[in-house]
Structure 1
């Protein structure tokens, strides 16, 4: 099982988890009573799922140890996951890079079943290609502070912290998400990573140089955050990487363009839903 690699192990783990999570124990007992041979089949499935889980844990522990000890530098860590590619697998809304990162972090693409605050969104983990694009656009270094606003369970923040020397701060209102992000981050002992449990409107963002938003909120919250970033942009050179719809989200950032705080970079063909904005006074 270890020879499959971390990404392939994660794909199997998700498949087994889907089956186990969608089987009703009471109905399973009824099926076994009608067809006793199913008991052995289910036991084999559970044993196989455990084998996959153990292999995934071991592979993730290897990478975590390399990060903790410095054997895997930020540049090499980034090259490892980016080198797997961003081509979507047939029949799966995933890529090899995403499978590797999500297997390492044990983060599912979509997290449901948790309470959402007003103007908040369902947590969706950032796609690896977007994280790669952010790193290319911003080139964060030792003197930079990156904010992931509405960080969810931490895929973007942890990946950027492990892939660069920048300080990375994830801000999230959902307590369950923050706790999961902190647990994940602790495994890698990244000294440049921090998760803040707070309403983003109450956080001092003035030390930030790059801001990432994957449509984490809309309406009044998006409006307030855009105003705050506009104020920061007037004081220092920043980059805002905002992904999401224009209506009731992107329009608030464009308002800061109209007011002269931010300027909008040319749109790229491959990232039509992304706005890259920079401090107008420093361009």
Structure 2
């Protein structure tokens, strides 16, 4: 019974011709996820306690081959799009059109960071190389790296209405996804500040491979960076406590010369909301799973 059920699941995916058409990325991502977590993982758990090991191993090989086929379609898709980005033919409106073509909006309400097929697409397109191991020891108030959900980055770009002359800083930029997306969509100069050397080198390499000269990554402690060129800033809680306050104070000094905007996501938002020199334009700043905009006053 179990063998027949698993075989039927595999055959259903194999017989769906649309999954093998490049345009159907979203459905293919769901199918790959199903193969990995509902077929292969299920087989692995059954193998440990089953007398029909041979049949299960054959099914696992069949599922893995199918998953590889589907992933190769995505790899070819991403390779072609990266070539267009390098040639300057896939940015701004053209890049947004690509996103809308291959992914469907996720209207779920998240009570945690939450990732979806948009993240799968962006990860495969922009940061496809193997994630590096950290080499720097974090200070006590530094927070471990977690990617900003892609939907939050797109929301930020939509709210901020970035324009020529704006300079964007992602404070705690990790693998560089946020500055890459900001530059690709808006065309403005985008900078990332990252303490972890391995992540910084990874991000620099990504920008170079995509031929994005207006994306810069700075490998430094955020407390000693010169932010004078920036007027738009983003933080997905890269640190907390006194360290967070020190960086906010640096931005406060910057705000005395020109109006700045700070966008936050995660547990840092309530702390930023307490600053009397900032006004939150879209709420109270107390929901850690909401993107907030703060403007200097």
Give the TM-score of the pair, scaled to structure 2.
0.74
- 1:253 corresponds to which residue? 272
- 1:166 corresponds to which residue? 188
- 1:50 corresponds to which residue? 68
Where do 1:146-161 residues align within 5 Å? 146-161=168-183
Where do 1:111-260 residues align within 5 Å? 114=134, 117=138, 118-245=140-267, 249-250=268-269, 252-256=271-275, 258=276, 260=277
For 1:183 and 1:279, the matched residues in 2 are separated by: 34
Superimposed CA distance per residue, residues 85-139 of structure 1 (whole angstroms, 9 cap, x where no aligned partner)? 23249xxx4444334323323569xx89857612222322222332222112222
Q: What is the total number of aligned residue pairs between the two structures?
A: 267
Aligned pair 1:277/2:294, yes or no?
yes
Aligned-partner SS, 1:3:
coil
For 1:213 and 1:129, the matched residues in 2 are separated by: 15
For 1:254 and 1:152, the matched residues in 2 are separated by: 24
2:80 to 62, 69, 86: 62
For 2:248 and 2:27, the matched residues in 1 are separated by: 40
Aligned pair 1:263/2:284, yes or no?
no
Whether the 8 Å contact between 2:127 and 2:177 is mirrored in structure 1 is no
Superimposed CA distance per residue, residues 231-258 of structure 1 (whole angstroms, 9 cap, x where no aligned partner)? 111112211111223xxx34543454x2
> How far apart are residue 59 of structure 1 and its match?
0.8
For 2:293 and 2:195, the matched residues in 1 are separated by: 24
For 2:248 and 2:88, the matched residues in 1 are separated by: 37
Aligned-partner SS, 1:124:
coil
Q: Cα distance 1:17–1:172, how it changes in 2: closer, same or farther (>3 A)?
A: farther
Q: Cα distance 1:223–1:143, how it changes in 2: closer, same or farther (>3 A)?
A: same
For 2:116 and 2:125, the matched residues in 1 are separated by: 14
Pick the structure with greater CA Rg.
Answer: 2
Q: Which runs of 5+ in 2 are unaligned?
A: 1-19
For 1:30 and 1:253, the matched residues in 2 are separated by: 51
Backbone CA RMSD of aligned residues:
3.7
1:77 to 95, 99, 114: 95
Whether the 8 Å contact between 1:147 and 1:211 is mirrored in structure 2 is yes
Superimposed CA distance per residue, residues 6-40 of structure 1 (whole angstroms, 9 cap, x where no aligned partner)? 444445555666699979x9x99988997233443
Whether the 8 Å contact between 2:273 and 2:284 is mirrored in structure 1 is no
Q: Which runs of 5+ in 1 are unaligned?
A: none
> How far apart are residue 169 of structure 1 and its match?
0.7
- 1:3 corresponds to which residue? 22
Give the TM-score of the pair, scaled to structure 1.
0.77
